[in-house]
Amino acid sequence: MEVKVPVCADAHADLAEDMTAMTAQNLPIEAANSMEAAQLPHRSHDPATNQKRIDPFQFGSRYLGKEDDVFEFNAWDHVEPDDAYKEYAEMQFAKQREAPVSEFDKSRFNSDPAKWWNLFYKNNTASFFKDRKWLQQECGTLRRVLQADAGPVTILEVGAGAGNTAFPILANNHNPSLKIHACDFSKTAVEVMRESDAYDTKCMQADVWDVAGVELPPDVRENTVDLVMMIFVFSALSPDQWGQAVRNIHRILKPGGEVFFRDYGRNDLAQVRFKKGRYMEPNFYVRGDGTRVYYFEKDELAQIWSGPFADEKSESDESSDVPTATGEEGGFDITNLAMDHRLLVNRGQKIKMYRAWLQGRFVKRLTGGSGGGSG
């Protein structure tokens, strides 16, 4: 069996973001899962019915039917990997497990992850910034809080990087009472944001912060944040850091506040194409530049964000080795969580590329505190 896999597919989030905009007319997820492809307007191939998504959590609807030429378009939505790809992926995973990262290198990459992200931003400052224009299309709460009459709103971006989220938010903001805290693990990334011409200290504050640490972000108090943006950042944490990270997010959000989440899904092309010496533990890898990445399942994420804190598990949960996050005193409701499957094609080389991302919205329960969220 021969499966063509492009060697140029980048494992970092910029590729994922670039491809996010390649969508057709939108339908609610529930409708998208139930409608027959023949009923969808994309059959006309009219540009007027192949628009970018405009509503939150309404993924694209360019379905691939049996009568379609897969290489007619650059991207198709809601396409599950075919059997050949699944077989190839399992073969790749077996090879990865046979040649894992050495214990020495595992310690090296896990002991000081900030070092590798500092090097990443030092080497990629000029090329890594991507304007996340799709943010307001996907996050309805963000659209609302940027309106002129939204009132005082505090947004925290975790893993802000070069300002991929914060700066587009500022550019589209009409709310004079908006405050953005843009935090990143990397000192270099924070310096890049602070040196940007778009950095406005009247409504934005960039700081170094470890979401899995014990301290809250500078100048951020408990129960004061309306919206947390976590885009391709949770995957950079090791599994033993998830519980503390979610606990910190829970502390800073107002009751009713929410998390907008997007990250890598299991069996994504970027995971499948890892070579020997990159596998650290199941679904957790180190890239060639030393940065780490995890690939999630939908049910796994739901358990992490809606279950009890890792150190508050009941006896019935002891068999689970998935670190979870929140307990009876509050926690998160999973209001949206879906796998975004996308088939990208190289029409010239006749190559199919299966991408997978998870997108969700998690709302802090209205218990154990006072105040209200923004949406």
Mean pLDDT by 10 residues, the chain (375 residues): 48 44 35 39 46 46 79 84 92 96 93 86 65 72 92 96 90 95 93 92 96 95 96 95 95 96 95 95 94 96 83 44 45 92 87 91 75 39
4 alpha carbon, distance to own chain's centre = 26
253-288 burial, b at 16+ Cβ within 10 Å, e below that, comes to: bbbbbbbbbbbbbbbbbbbbbbeeebbbeebbbbbe
Structure confidence at residue 135 (pLDDT): 76
Structure confidence at residue 15 (pLDDT): 43
Structure confidence at residue 114 (pLDDT): 85
Structure confidence at residue 86 (pLDDT): 92
Residues facing residue 333 across a β-bridge = 363
> Environment class of residue 238 by beta-carbon count within 10 Å: exposed (0-12), middle (13-18) or buried (19+)?
middle
Vertex 75 angle, CA 70 and 80, to 5°: 75
Structure confidence at residue 60 (pLDDT): 63
In this structure, are residues 328 and 306 in contact, taking their beta carbons and an 8 Å threshold?
no
First to last CA, the chain: 50
Mention every residue, 6+ apart, whose C-beta is less than 8 A from residue 148: 174, 175, 176
Residue of 234, 268, 235, 236 whose CA lies nearest to 341:
268
Structure confidence at residue 58 (pLDDT): 47
Q: In what order do the strands lie in the sheet with 225-231?
A: 75-77, 332-346, 351-364, 253-264, 225-231, 153-158, 178-184, 204-208
Three-class SS of the chain: CCCCCCCCCCCCHHHHHHHHCCCCCECCHHHHHHCCHHHCHHHHCCHHHCCCCCCCCCCECCCCCCCCCCCCCCEEECCCCCHHHHHHHHHHHHHHHHCCCCHHHHHHHHHCHHHHHHHHHHHHHHHHCCCCCCHHHHCHHHHHHCCCCCCCEEEEEECCCCCCCHHHHHHCCCCCCEEEEEEECCHHHHHHHHHCCCCCCCCEEEEECCCCCCCCCCCCCCCCEEEEEEECCHHHCCHHHHHHHHHHHHHHEEEEEEEEEEEEECCCHHHHCCCCCCEEECCEEECCCCCEEECECHHHHHHHHHCCCHHHCCHHHCCCCCCCCCCCCCCEEEEEEEEEEEEEEECCCCEEEEEEEEEEEEEECCCCCCCCCCC
CA atoms of 133 and 172, how far apart (whole Å): 10
Structure confidence at residue 369 (pLDDT): 40
Structure confidence at residue 312 (pLDDT): 45
In this structure, are residues 350 and 71 in contact, taking their beta carbons and an 8 Å threshold?
yes
In this structure, are residues 217 and 324 in contact, taking their beta carbons and an 8 Å threshold?
no
Structure confidence at residue 72 (pLDDT): 84
